Structure 1
């Protein structure tokens, strides 16, 4: 039945707050319940409270920002390109003309004798075969494009003479009845001398 009079409500309130005081056990239970309620309220308020504003550093309050430096790491460094010295052009070392191998002079003389214009009607392939044993494979392909009937010389008229000697190569002059040939003779990998080029003497 509800309490309708002020006196009755006051008596009810007095009974409630006097209840913990009637025994130590009731007082301990009441204190524990009150402490739990306070902790729960504090936890709820801590969760919803906004974060405090960050404290301004001395540099920001003056309007200037302190410079930040970062030590460069070894992985981020770009190597400085190093200029290489120029490479000198390779040229054969000249040797005394008297040191020209006799085998190289002999090959030049034989090659010139096979190079002069053959008799009329000689097939170009036959003329080329006469030059094959004395010519490098690379230069033989060049000679395959030559028309032997257009060769101006018909015979060799002088002995071969060395004009320039280097390690592994000799320029040999051979006189014919129409011009003086300058034949380049080189030492191949298999240890034999072969003709690798020729030109007219100036």
Structure 2
């Protein structure tokens, strides 16, 4: 049977855990140090863990899944709460709201667009379209050969078919096809053609 002595490893351990019990002051100091160590460890772990909470996250709670339900039970996931969507301003306006200036711009542009008389150069044709066309679309028209345009004249009245706050689509009939001309407001009070297609 071993003999206890005041020396050795067991005696050292005993001295450590008995030290706080020798007086109330030592016990209070030990408690304060223990709380500080636990707080420091918790703070360190929280600083190293990435923040995964978002504005819509709430308290975590157990949610049933298809695997956790008994066999034969249907699983319907709970709907996710989304923020309310503000009402959108309608982009379509009644046809009666089409500005006459926009419809007139589409008519004048189509008259300048139809195939010009023989001897008219492409540059002259393009200059006739310049005041009625957006600068961006004028660059597209610079690649067009006006001699290949099938229409030679406008044959009817223009008619708005779609109206938005800043643009109007206008149908303009010609002797070869009906154009669908897109006219936009350039924010300076001038309506210019930004595109066209065959209606």
1:40 alignment counterpart:
none
**Structure 1 position 190, deviation (Å):** 1.8
CA distance in 2, matches of 1:78, 1:151: 64
**Structure 1 position 79, deviation (Å):** 2.1
Q: Give the 3-state SS of the residue equivalent to 1:195 in structure 2.
A: strand
**Structure 1 position 75, deviation (Å):** 3.5
Q: How does 1:4-15 map to 2 (within 5 A)?
A: none
2:110 alignment counterpart:
112
2:13 alignment counterpart:
55
Q: Residues 95 and 154 from structure 1, CA distance in 2 versus in 1: closer, same or farther, beyond 3 angstroms? A: same
Q: Give the 3-state SS of the residue equivalent to 1:141 in structure 2.
A: helix
**Aligned residues: CA RMSD:** 3.1
Q: Give the 3-state SS of the residue equivalent to 2:125 in structure 1.
A: helix
What 5-or-longer segments of structure 2 have no aligned partner?
1-6, 18-36, 57-81
Q: How does 1:1-202 map to 2 (within 5 A)?
A: 53=9, 54-55=12-13, 70-73=41-44, 75-80=47-52, 82=54, 93-201=91-199
**Structure 1 position 72, deviation (Å):** 3.8
**Structure 1 position 91, deviation (Å):** 9.3
CA distance in 2, matches of 1:179, 1:118: 16
Q: Give the 3-state SS of the residue equivalent to 1:71 in structure 2.
A: helix
1:38 alignment counterpart:
none
Q: Give the 3-state SS of the residue equivalent to 2:160 in structure 1.
A: strand
Q: Residues 196 and 81 from structure 1, CA distance in 2 versus in 1: closer, same or farther, beyond 3 angstroms? A: farther
CA distance in 2, matches of 1:133, 1:81: 56
TM-score w.r.t. structure 1 length?
A: 0.61
Q: Kindly tell me the number of residue pairs found equivalent between the two proteins.
A: 141
What 5-or-longer segments of structure 1 have no aligned partner?
1-50, 59-67
Q: Give the 3-state SS of the residue equivalent to 1:94 in structure 2.
A: coil
CA distance in 2, matches of 1:92, 1:168: 12
**Structure 1 position 52, deviation (Å):** 6.8
TM-score w.r.t. structure 2 length?
A: 0.62
Rg bigger for which structure? 1
CA distance in 1, matches of 2:89, 2:197: 20
**Structure 1 position 144, deviation (Å):** 0.4
Q: Residues 143 and 52 from structure 1, CA distance in 2 versus in 1: closer, same or farther, beyond 3 angstroms? A: farther
